[in-house]
């Protein structure tokens, strides 16, 4: 189990940028998704790059499903579990549970996200410490380099 802090910027309909931070706010890895392309901008130094790339690209696909970004895989299915208080997104290789909704600018946003990736056999839990909606983002943030 590894705990990291990160920043994610999402712009609908089809893009996000994820930066995971380590001690001293050093970037551990940086993933960018625009349209159907997911790219590892920076990986963790000293880690097997082939395996790391595979895992980071998979995490990119997980987040695309979690935030319901385009293009959606044909297998994507969203269900609302009223009893459980969650939205569940399933695809062939993953199940994402969005839970613990709080209000931000009049909209409900999940503050706890659980990702179960069956293809690579890992689980990720995201706890949102702070969120804002409808913030103008710099277009350079999503530029494929």
Q: CA–CA separation, 49 vs 70, rounded Å?
A: 27
> What are the residues facing 11 on neighbouring strands?
15
DSSP string, the chain: ----EEEEEEETTTEEEEEEE-GGG-EEEEEEEETTEEEEEE--TTS-HHHHHHHHHHHHHHHHHHTTPSSPPTT-EEEEETTTTEEEEEETTEEEEEEEEEEETTEEEEEEEEEEETTTTEEEEEE-S---SSPPPPGGGG---
| pLDDT at residue 59 in the model | 93
Residues 6 or more apart whose CB falls under 8 angstroms from that of 54 comprise 120
Query: Taking a C-beta distance cutoff of 8 angstroms, is the pair 97, 86 a contact?
Result: yes
Tell which phi-psi region holds residue 38, choosing left (phi > 0), alpha (psi between -120 and 50) or beta. beta
10-residue mean pLDDT profile of the chain (145 residues): values are: 87 95 88 93 79 88 95 93 90 96 91 96 94 92 88
The pTM (predicted TM-score) of the whole model is: 0.88
Q: Cα–Cα distance between 19 and 54 in angstroms, integer?
A: 17
- Cα(132)–Cα(88) distance, integer angstroms: 22
């Amino acid at each position: 189990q590894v705990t990291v802090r990160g920043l994610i910027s999402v712009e609908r309909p089809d893009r996000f940028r994820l930066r995971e931070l380590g001690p001293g706010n050093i970037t551990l890895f940086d993933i960018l998704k625009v349209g159907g392309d997911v790219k590892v901008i920076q990986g963790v130094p000293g880690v097997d790059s082939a395996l790391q790339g595979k895992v980071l690209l998979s995490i990119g696909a997980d987040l695309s499903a979690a935030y319901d970004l385009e293009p959606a895989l044909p297998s994507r299915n969203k269900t609302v579990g009223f009893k459980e208080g969650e939205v569940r997104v399933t695809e062939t290789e993953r199940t994402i549970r969005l839970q613990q909704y709080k209000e931000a600018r009049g909209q409900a946003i999940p503050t706890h996200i659980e990702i179960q990736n069956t293809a690579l056999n890992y689980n990720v839990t995201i706890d949102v410490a702070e969120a804002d909606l409808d913030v103008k983002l710099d277009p350079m943030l999503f530029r494929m380099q």
